[in-house]
Structure 1
Amino acid sequence: MDLRQLRYFIAVAEEQNFSRAAERLHMTQPPLSRQMQLLEEEIGVPLFVRGARPLKMTEAGQILYEKAPRVLNEADGLAPLTRQLMRTTRRIVIGFVPSTLYGPLPEVIRAFRKATPGVELSVIEMFSLEQTAALKAARIDIGFGRIRMDDDQLAREVLAEEDLIAALPATHSLASDKTPLPLAALAKETVIVYPGQPRPSYADQQISALRDQALEPHAIHEVMELQTALGLVAAEIGVCLVPRSVAGLRARGVVYRELANVNVTSPIIMSRRQQDRSEANDLFCAVAREFFAAM
């Protein structure tokens, strides 16, 4: 059974006459009658009561007539639906760790959306480790994280090495000093790190920044989010190492200090699937490179 036969059948059923149906379909009667015969043979039951005037449908014909218009309407909508899907599937999903939002990433998103108004863009907050699984499962298209991880299925690109700075309670004795702060001063404090899980994470980078200088924190307090860490800093629970761009977040009760130690950084890493080279993804990555290069 094909759509053409269904259209022929509906015309005959509605006109209740083969001749009028043929005129409506702009064809002659013999091929129309032949198509109805083929349709009945395929279904295995008669659809019309032959000899009835006007032409009547059998019970099977009535059942088919109830369903056929809906099938045709759905079929007629397939082409525009496919075009619509093509438009909506021109979408890109971005995964990001929260700290990257304080850098150029919002500008990248704005610039990309302005350049490609026909592409749907979604963003999902997720840890760096989660981004690896999400990329491989195609839940996201591009990820922005801070952890270096090797995977043959993923292409990773370091967009920037962002300096770390210290976040201190505003009441801390070192808060008002304007000179760069040595890491050794932080090692005497409780260091608040985030996220505690999953690991490895940015928390390990904070701890490594101290241990790379042969420093061991007095104590380590793990939390899950940047905002929580800054809240505990303001509450004088401890101090925290944060990316420089976070200084744009004016958290009440928190003072940011530059570090005296050089090369205390955290990378911003853009990741995508190795074999995924869609036009939208390529463009987004190009825009990201441009903005992050200016950090």
Structure 2
Amino acid sequence: MELRHLRYFQVVAQELNVTRAAERLHMAQPPLSRQIRQLEEEVGVALFDRVGRGLRLTEAGRFLLEQTTQLTQRLEETIEGTRRIGRQDKRWFGIGFVPSVLYGVLPELIRELRESDRHDQQVEVGLAEMITVEQIEALKAGRIDLGFGRIALNDPAIRQQVVMAEPLVAALPARLPAPRRKALTPQALAAQPFILYPARPRPSYADHLLSMFRAQGLQLRVAQEANELQTALGLVAAGIGITLVPASIQRLHRDDVRYCPIDAPGFVSPVIMSYREGDTSPFLARAVEWVMRQAQ
């Protein structure tokens, strides 16, 4: 499938008439019809119902139109940003982050950088949600300039600094009776069905959790794996099991989940800042300095 196939499909879906769509695309009708048939053959489902001389989107076609419209809009924004950078109108500064740091230092950093951006019109700040492993690859590829994750990875091209060690808390279903003890032990936690996240890709925060329990001579009873923090909390609320989250997640108030401290040293999750070794960008230096100053 090529990008032009999606563009052709979108125009036909908007016009619901191949003749009018061909006129908009400045092409003949037969080649356009062939392109649509090829697209339907590739996805393996009908995207249009033929109704008289017109067309009607199928349920699959409506779904594809909605999703690809978002995709092409994002692509157009990316291309426009690329042009601005290429013309040296602005420099792109990308930040990758794991969702759990949104409840800690990251929001303040974003506000600080966007305030700097208003004064420094040569920099445009962008955000991308990705786990630490993905951040490392994105840093080396130049897609982002700064990352915030939860695990340490050894790569000579990347410099990592621990911003803080955040305590972990247990997330439990709110509908269950409150634990008798104010703080739960690792043994008590390991006895419960556990929601492990993220399921993939690995290594990740999930491996950090598993290693902490192994250090206590314990093995978790993994009842379900999830890819997202919010999904894991939803499964906890549904009574599937418990999970561990950084303490800052408690700022995300949920009526169906309660949080309980853990009675064990070392049950923490570091916030780790990553950036390219040797990157001399003044904007990066300001961001790193600000983060480490806040962490003191």
TM-score, normalised relative to structure 1: 0.68
Say which SS state the counterpart of residue 88 (structure 2) adopts: helix
One-letter amino acid of the counterpart of residue 161, structure 1: A
Say yes or no: does 1:86 pair with 2:85: no
Once superposed, what is the RMSD of the aligned Cα atoms? 1.9
Say yes or no: does 1:186 pair with 2:189: yes
User: Relative to 1, partners in 2 of residues 1:142 and 1:214: Cα closer, same or farther, differing over 3 Å?
Assistant: same
202-211 vs 99-108, greater mean Cα deviation: 202-211
Structure 2, gaps ≥5 residues long: 1-82
State the alpha-carbon separation in 1 of the partners of residues 211 and 224 from structure 2: 15
State the alpha-carbon separation in 1 of the partners of residues 257 and 287 from structure 2: 34
One-letter amino acid of the counterpart of residue 236, structure 1: G
Please list the CA deviations of residues 83-139 of structure 1 after superposition, one character each: whole Å capped at 9, or x if unmatched: 9933412x3100001011111110111012213422210000011111111000000
1:1-295 matches, cutoff 5 A: 85-89=87-91, 91-117=92-118, 118=121, 119-173=123-177, 175=178, 177=180, 179-293=182-296
> Which of the pair has more CA radius of gyration?
1
User: Relative to 1, partners in 2 of residues 1:83 and 1:201: Cα closer, same or farther, differing over 3 Å?
Assistant: closer
How much has 1:176 moved relative to structure 2?
Answer: 5.1
Structure 1, gaps ≥5 residues long: 1-80
Please list the CA deviations of residues 15-72 of structure 1 after superposition, one character each: whole Å capped at 9, or x if unmatched: xxxxxxxxxxxxxxxxxxxxxxxxxxxxxxxxxxxxxxxxxxxxxxxxxxxxxxxxxx
CA contact (8 A) 2:152 2:272 kept: yes
CA contact (8 A) 2:183 2:260 kept: yes
User: Relative to 1, partners in 2 of residues 1:250 and 1:177: Cα closer, same or farther, differing over 3 Å?
Assistant: farther
State the alpha-carbon separation in 2 of the partners of residues 222 and 165 from structure 1: 18
How much has 1:217 moved relative to structure 2?
Answer: 1.9
Say which SS state the counterpart of residue 95 (structure 1) adopts: strand
CA contact (8 A) 1:107 1:291 kept: no
User: Relative to 1, partners in 2 of residues 1:232 and 1:151: Cα closer, same or farther, differing over 3 Å?
Assistant: same
One-letter amino acid of the counterpart of residue 155, structure 1: R
110-119 vs 269-278, greater mean Cα deviation: 110-119
One-letter amino acid of the counterpart of residue 87, structure 2: L
Please list the CA deviations of residues 242-272 of structure 1 after superposition, one character each: whole Å capped at 9, or x if unmatched: 0111111112310000111111111111111
Residue equivalent to 2:18: none
CA contact (8 A) 1:178 1:257 kept: no
188-197 vs 209-218, greater mean Cα deviation: 209-218
State the alpha-carbon separation in 2 of the partners of residues 153 and 98 from structure 1: 24
How much has 1:148 moved relative to structure 2?
Answer: 0.8
How much has 1:181 moved relative to structure 2?
Answer: 1.3
Residue equivalent to 1:37: none
State the alpha-carbon separation in 2 of the partners of residues 84 and 146 from structure 1: 33
Say which SS state the counterpart of residue 156 (structure 1) adopts: strand
Residue equivalent to 2:47: none
One-letter amino acid of the counterpart of residue 151, structure 1: D
User: Relative to 1, partners in 2 of residues 1:154 and 1:236: Cα closer, same or farther, differing over 3 Å?
Assistant: same
Say which SS state the counterpart of residue 86 (structure 1) adopts: coil
State the alpha-carbon separation in 2 of the partners of residues 195 and 227 from structure 1: 11
One-letter amino acid of the counterpart of residue 88, structure 2: M
Aligned residue pair count: 211
